[in-house]
Amino acid sequence: MKKEELSLIREAVNDSEAFRKLFEQYRPLVLKVLKPYNLREFSYEDWLQEARIAMIKAVARYDGSSGSQFGPYYRMVLQSHLRSILRRHFAHKRRIDATAIPFKASALESLQERLAIRSVEDGLLMRVEFFQLLENLSPLEYEAFETAVLHPFDTPTSNRFRRALERSRAKIIKFTRED
């Protein structure tokens, strides 16, 4: 490893400008590692922030005296950090799965038919409108809808969830019938 790079890594522990330079130097690696990851709640900037957090961990623990390269070490720390994020995210999803309610296929099929019939421009507009509809669902309604779509065969256990699913279903049916 070059002395300049090792010096930059050591400086990055306490110097934000050195850290910024180091992060920019390894940005192509970050983008390559981040490419397959996509979670609904995470924006591109969120992923970059998580990559920065992983780099903070990497520069704090890195010991270049044995001749090891920082790039592979940082990749390993970053991938481990991202797996931890995914584990937390999917652990939350599994809690939701336990209260899933079957979603009547007719509303979803109606929505899919409308999307298939429209022209490309209308399809794009419909997609934007659908995302707006999803944004207008309460967090519980959205969670119930997402669970019903992703896990339609789970049995309902919570009246609260069942009511939230019914409300989201009513909103979606109303949306599919509006012109």
Query: How do the domains of the chain map onto residue ranges?
Result: 1-97, 116-174
The CATH architecture that domain 1-97 belongs to is Orthogonal Bundle (1.10)
| Percentage of the chain exceeding pLDDT 90 | 23
Residue 99 in contact with residue 157, Cβ under 8 Å? yes
Alpha-carbon span 77 to 57, nearest angstrom: 8
Which two structure tokens, joined as six digits, stand for 135? 């944004």
Query: In this structure, which amino acid lies at residue 22?
Result: L
For residue 154, the number of C-alpha atoms closer than 13 Å in the C-beta half-sphere is 21
pLDDT, tens digit (0-9, with 9 covering 90-100), for 90-118: 776 566 554 555 555 555 666 666 556 55
Confidence of residue 79 (pLDDT cuts 50, 70, 90): very high
Which two structure tokens, joined as six digits, stand for 7? 């010096």
Residue 103 in contact with residue 165, Cβ under 8 Å? yes
Alpha-carbon span 54 to 34, nearest angstrom: 12
Q: Is the model more confident about 61 or about 156?
A: 61
Burial of residue 113 (number of CB atoms within 10 Å: 0-12, 13-18, 19+): exposed
Alpha-carbon span 41 to 146, nearest angstrom: 13
